[in-house]
Amino acid sequence: MNRNPLIPFALIAILGIGLMLLLSFVGLDNMDEVAKGEDEAPTEDTASASPEEIYQGKCSSCHGADFGGGAGPALTGVGEKYSTDEIKSIVTEGRGIMPANLVPDEKLDEMVDWLTGL
Write out pLDDT tens, residues 34-74: 777 644 444 556 667 889 999 998 899 999 889 888 888 99
Do 66 and 33 belong together in one domain? Answer: no
For 14-30, the pLDDT digits (tens) are 999 999 999 888 887 77
Do 63 and 87 belong together in one domain? Answer: yes
> Which SS3 state, helix, strand or coil, does residue 7 take?
helix
The model's pTM: 0.59
With respect to residue 83, please indicate whether it lies within any of the assigned structural domains.
yes
- Residue 103 is classified by DSSP as S
Cβ(44)–Cβ(57) under 8 Å? yes
Determine the pLDDT at residue 117.
86
Do 100 and 60 belong together in one domain? Answer: yes
Q: Give the whole-angstrom CA distance, residue 108 versus residue 90.
A: 11
Determine the pLDDT at residue 4.
81
Q: Which residue range is the domain that position 87 belongs to?
A: 51-116
The total of structural domains in the chain comes to 2
With respect to residue 46, please indicate whether it lies within any of the assigned structural domains.
no
Determine the pLDDT at residue 31.
74
With respect to residue 80, please indicate whether it lies within any of the assigned structural domains.
yes
Count Cβ atoms below 10 Å from residue 91 Cβ, excluding itself. 20
Do 7 and 35 belong together in one domain? Answer: yes
Burial 69-81 (b: 16+ CB within 10 A, else e): eeebbebeebbee
